């Protein structure tokens, strides 16, 4: 394909890392980037599952590898990105997708350890990876980073304060880094997904439905009916938006926070008083 006819969505020849991509949204993102032509590395805590996912995608003819990474471990993140450079020579795309949900509980009941666990993976992990990739991309004077935030980062939902704060932090991290990287031609954007029925969401929904006295199906329907486009999201919905932001089609977009949620802005319901204990 010559330069004139190349699709602006083509990622051919690009090296991409997607964190937390052994399953769920990350896996959908890794697959989409690879279908668009990138060579993708899945970086996940669950190494075996990451390799199984990579092998499945290789069988479809896609260039996907996997590696172990705990994004919350500063040293591991440094070593991981050093290895990407020593093995591949460059890094064109980073998608910071790894994140953990929070045990659904009121702020006044939330323990120190749960607060720290959620912030450490979901916000600090994104910072470590942005820092490592940012150094590489600044040197290269090219690259694109997409951070996966959440609609909760813009409009907090009750009973998950640590998660809301972590995702609001990811949005600020994105906008700060976009400013700092602009002079180097490196673009940094965020996607705020709405509800997609992954393992993460299933766990949170199960806890929320219990607190509201609903069964799982009623809870799924309640969320569905709140979404203006009338359906839950699929990983592909999020993956296509991420791939767009990584591609030359988005070459004049940076510091953008893109909601991909079927129109849902957030879940702002206030829970009733709790029984006095
Ligand atoms: N599913 C949704 O509805 C939804 C909505 C908004 C935002 N998000 C965000 O999208 C991202 C992916 O969510 P998902 O629903 O696919 O979740 P998931 O739980 O299905 O997958 C998360 C992946 O991250 C990996 N991971 C967890 N901690 C890690 C660590 N320390 N280092 C490396 N990998 C780690 C897990 O092993 C897993 O493979 C998260 O950041 C989540 O907050 C999800």
Q: How does strand 257-260 pair with strand 15-19?
A: unpaired
pTM reported for the whole predicted model: 0.97
The H or E element spanning position 52 is: helix 47-58
Which SS3 state, helix, strand or coil, does residue 15 take? strand
pLDDT in tens, 178-188: 999 999 999 99
- Nearest partner of 257 among 169, 125, 137, judged by Cα: 169
Q: Answer yes or no: is pLDDT of 113 > 70.
A: yes
Whether residue 198 has its Cβ less than 6 Å from ligand 1: yes
270: which DSSP letter?
P
Tens digit of each residue's pLDDT (9 = 90 or more) over 204-231 = 888 888 878 889 899 999 999 999 999 9
Quick check: CB of 53 below 6 Å from ligand 1?
Answer: no
Q: 143-176: string of b/e by CB count within 10 Å (b at 16+)?
A: bbbbbbbbbbbbbbbbbbbbbbbbbbbbbebbee
Q: Give the ligand 1 atom nearest the CA of 73.
A: 31
Question: CB of 44 closer than 6 A to ligand 1?
Answer: yes
User: 98 C-alpha vs ligand 1 centroid, how far in Å?
Assistant: 5
The pLDDT, as a whole number, for residue 212 is 80
pLDDT tens track for 223-276:
999 999 999 999 999 999 999 999 999 999 999 999 999 999 998 788 889 888
Q: What is the pLDDT of residue 171?
A: 99
φ, ψ of residue 53 to 5 degrees: the values are -65, -45
Counting residues of the chain whose pLDDT is more than 90, the rounded percentage is 87
Which atom of ligand 1 is least distant from the CA of 167? 43
Over 60: is that where the pLDDT of 2 sits?
no
Q: What is the mean pLDDT of residues 120-142?
A: 98
Nearest to 85 by CA among 5, 13, 17: 17
Cβ proximity of 234 and 201 under 8 Å: no
Give the chain's length: 277
List, by residue number, the catalytic residues. Answer: 163
Pairing of strands 64-68, 143-148: unpaired
Compute the distance from residue 44 Cα to the ligand 1 centre, in Å.
10
Provide Rg for the chain, Cα atoms: 19
Residue nearest to atom 11 of ligand 1 (CA): 97
Ligand 1 atom nearest to 151, measured from its CA: 6
| Structural domains of the chain in order of their starting residue, each with its CATH number | 15-195+233-260 (3.40.50.720)
Q: What is the mean pLDDT of the chain?
A: 95
**Residue 28: CB within 6 Å of ligand 1?**
no
Which residue, by CA, sits nearest to atom 44 of ligand 1? 193
Name every residue whose Cβ is closer than 8 Å to that of residue 174 and which is 6 or more positions away in sequence: 145, 147, 149, 188, 189, 190, 255, 257
Determine which residue's CA is closest to atom 32 belonging to ligand 1. Answer: 70
């Amino acid at each position: 394909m010559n330069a004139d006819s190349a699709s602006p969505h083509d990622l051919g020849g690009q090296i991409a890392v997607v964190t937390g991509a052994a399953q769920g949204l990350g896996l959908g993102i890794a697959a989409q980037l690879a279908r668009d032509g990138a060579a993708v590395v899945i970086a996940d805590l669950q190494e075996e599952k990451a390799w199984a996912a990579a092998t499945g995608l290789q069988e479809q003819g896609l260039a996907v590898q996997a590696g172990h990474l705990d994004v919350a471990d500063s040293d591991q993140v440094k070593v991981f990105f050093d290895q990407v450079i020593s093995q591949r020579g460059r890094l064109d795309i980073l998608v910071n997708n790894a994140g953990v949900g929070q045990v659904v509980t009121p702020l006044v009941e939330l323990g120190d350890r749960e607060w720290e666990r959620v912030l450490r993976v979901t916000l600090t992990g994104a910072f470590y990876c942005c820092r490592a990739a940012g150094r590489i991309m600044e040197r290269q004077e090219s690259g694109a980073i997409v951070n996966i935030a959440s609609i909760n980062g813009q409009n907090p939902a009750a009973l998950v304060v640590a998660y809301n704060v972590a995702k609001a932090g990811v949005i600020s991290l994105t906008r700060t880094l976009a400013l700092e990287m602009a002079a180097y031609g490196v673009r940094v954007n965020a996607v705020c997904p709405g509800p997609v029925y992954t393992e993460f969401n299933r766990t949170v929904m199960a806890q929320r439905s219990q607190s509201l006295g609903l069964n799982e199906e009623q809870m799924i329907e309640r969320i569905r009916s709140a979404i203006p486009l009338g359906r839950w999201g699929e990983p592909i919905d999020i993956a296509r938006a991420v791939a767009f932001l990584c591609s030359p089609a988005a070459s004049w977009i940076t510091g953008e926070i893109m909601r991909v949620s079927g129109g849902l802005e957030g879940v702002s319901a206030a829970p009733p008083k709790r029984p006095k204990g």
